[in-house]
Chain A
């Protein structure tokens, strides 16, 4: 069974204090790993897709990396507006699995000024 585990569950940071979020996964065949940001009362907002080990993508203060077993979301010099829940999800390549996403539980990030 495909599993996605995110850690830590919650993270409190001071503004400017860089940190990393972890997403470890166990899947039968990875098609893609996705990072989303979710603000309270809103739907998940797409951030990145990573397809193969060694791949990296950046957007403003966020950088996502991928290995064969896990992905990291690095937040560099965070600002209060980076406060949100960050969700990781995997999509597997088996035909029978279709295109559904399997999500982790999320990491709630709070950045204090």
Chain B
């Protein structure tokens, strides 16, 4: 079956521009996660949705970062007024209800802020 898809795969933004990154989770998965991965590092948690409810946004680095999942399926991560330090790969993952808890990741969006 189809896995997690993300678009765009690559995004170049000039400093100060707003960007929107999309995630389409595995069908039927109620949980959706966003992670940020810097070059050579492990992914770091940003935010978590259960259906349409954003239950944890403790990892969002600033109020320039905003995520939504209005209908409990597709999610969008928005970054306003991008800065160079926002350059990273943004990964989306989804998992089903209950056990097992493993998360399945999409290919990521590589954001470069110039």
Contact = CB atoms under 8 A, between A and B. Distances in A.
Interface of A: 4, 6, 31-32, 34, 36, 41-46, 49, 87, 89, 91, 98-106
B44 A103 contact: yes
Interface string B74-108: 00000000000000000101010000111111111
Interface in B34-58: 35, 40-45, 48, 55-56
Contact of B107 (A43, A46, A91): A43
B59 A45 contact: no
Interface residues of B, number: 26
Nearest first, the 3 A-B pairs at minimum CB distance are A103-B42, A43-B105, A100-B45
6 contacts: A43-B105, A43-B106, A100-B48, A102-B45, A103-B43, A105-B41
A56 B55 CA distance: 32
Nearest to A6: B42
A98 B56 contact: yes
B105 to A, nearest CB: 4
Contact of B59 (A31, A44, A100): A100
Contact of B48 (A87, A89, A99, A106): A99
Contacts of B33: 99-101
Contacts of B45: 100-102
B108 A34 contact: no
A77 B31 CA distance: 37
B45, B95, B107 interface centre (most CB from chain A within 10 Å): B45
A83 B44 CA distance: 23
A104 B44 CA distance: 9
Contacts of B107: 41-43
B4 interface: yes
A106 to B, nearest CB: 5
B101 to A, nearest CB: 5
A34 to B, nearest CB: 6
Contacts of A89: 42
A32 B95 CA distance: 14
A100 B105 CA distance: 13
Nearest to B106: A43
